[in-house]
Structure 1
Amino acid sequence: MLRLFPEGGGLQGLISNQVGEIALAGASSCEWYPERSRRGVAGVVVVPAEEVRIRRDPGTQALVYQQFAPGNYVTLNPRTYLYAAPRTTGRSPYGVPLFVAALFALDRKRQLSDAEQRVINLMARSALVQAKVPIPTPQELGCTSEADPAYPDAVAEFFSNVADTIVSSSESGVYIGPDKTDISVVPINQTAAGAPEITKGNQKRVWNALRTLPFMRGEMDSTTQALAQMTVPILHAQAASINQTLARQLEFGANLHLSLRGIPAQAWVRFTPPVSPFQLDEATALLRRAEAHTRLAALFGPAWAPAAMREFDVVEGDAERAPDWWQPGGALAPTPPQGDPP
């Protein structure tokens, strides 16, 4: 599997790469190129989705995929290329990035970070140093008169050197400069009151747009187990939707390889579902539902069988399809009625 995508760490690296492509570009775009002998798939190349133009053939109405090249577009062969998008909008065939809703909140976060840095810089200064220095005469700066063209530039350079001297000496508190220099300090009162609330509110907008949850990012102030049990399945469902798109891409490459090899088979890709962190609670809930159905079956008799079968997705004929080793045990077997011996 390493030879399929050696630049990215093999098949597992391709999966990680395509997760990022789906999140940023909104689609999985890959071309599975065959061997020179056309007897199998030699490897896979990621075609950046932003370089792909999609149009519809006027005759067949089939989608045609073209990759931008200098000066023209190259048509991609649908036999070896697949563009898989988990979500589109309207009639547009282009995939929509998963986190497009987060762009505004992320841009606001960047602005807030810049503003915080400016406030921090002002608070670090704590004071404004005001210096009054007499303007040197042309002779002191090596000029003939005030009409000398070099005199304005010499004055500007002189004041620039004075400012550099004051700034470099500000930490030590010692200043040595030209005669008759008047230096005064103006305190600056800066406060960051209210900034944490603004930043926190925008951060929650970022998390919501990125389809994540505050407690998964360290925000544990108002998180309860009941809330986590309701929201974690939502994250699992979002991951499953991405896995479906990845499975489609991998199945495309695997079935192309089987076809070129002449093997009459079809490949299917299935990802292991994420493990629930609340297995004990879910098992307890399942046990309680089973006990409730047992009591209701004793109350209503055979009439309750359809309700129990719908609850646990059981249909007629499932018992005949059970393997020979399946022995549920006597604990769940119906007990004979009390009274006369059977």
Structure 2
Amino acid sequence: MIPSLFIILDNFPLNANGKIDRKRLPSPSFSTSSSDDNINSPLTRLEQQLQDIFSQVFRVESASVEASFNQLGGTSLDMIHALTLIRREICKEADIRLLLTNPSIRQLAQAIEPLLILETPQDAVFTTNQSHETHLRCSPSFVLESVGIVFLVSQWLWPIIIIHRWCPFFFPVLPAFHLLFYVICSRLFAPGYIKTDNLFSWNYYRWWFLDRLWNNNTFWLQHILGTPLYNYYLRLCGARISLNAHIYTTTIDAPWLLEIDDETWIANETCLNCLYFNDDNTFKLSPIRIGSNCSIGTRSILFDGVDMQNNIIIQPMSLVTGFIASETIVDGEEHKSRPSDISGV
């Protein structure tokens, strides 16, 4: 809570009502907050590249190599922008966790340097045959996709046609048929936890089919959100969810990998994303665990393996990944926690 910079003024600028005019207060310049040349000057070419990216993203001139994201005045969107540029210009293996655990340029350069050493020999031995094999391995299967689309259309239309033609009085059971069909398919095809696998593999298409099937059924599910019926249904799909949890979202890509404890509140339009795409044409399915007495605000995104402890507050429109310690408040740009082992944006 100690300010990183103090600006001394003779008088506070006041508005016509005699109150402090915040718009006329001078903006802090973090790039010149220290007189130590070693703090502001990069020591290596990698630090210079990162400094150029930070200066561009956070809109400062010669960003200090020791200043963290918060000291530079960056937001979570700025952090994602910085990660995109780092992956494009420096290291493809960099991820959001690397930036969260190494918030300054100097720390980040030290963390990225081993990754660059590992990338070099791999690029040197990458032959044309290997590139061709990778292309074949990652090619989509139009046969599987066509069969899957036929099944998805049939699952939605066949019951309607049958009921309309022979049993018109059974239209009320149509939602139950669609929902139970997903439960059966999830038991048969759910790929479970996957550390990493190739895109367009059999495991990927199993997830893809279930995800399309789930989206077909969200029309029916939206009518039971926030009720124990929705919790019972998620349990049938393989989720481990307390009946006392309050869930108001249907944006779930792998319900069988969810674990939610008592008295947890998940607001509407929250994204529970178990699937995460990597840059090397691979993907992984990671479980999402949410402890008891947690509150997750609307339009928040949980992705790439989330392990939340108890009594956690996620403010609306926050981006969360990794381990979140108990008694933590995640506010998009700000973290409030007793332990220091947290990962949130």
Q: Does the pair score TM above 0.5?
A: no
Higher RCO (C-alpha under 8 Å, 6+ residues apart)? 1
TM, length-normalised to structure 2 = 0.21
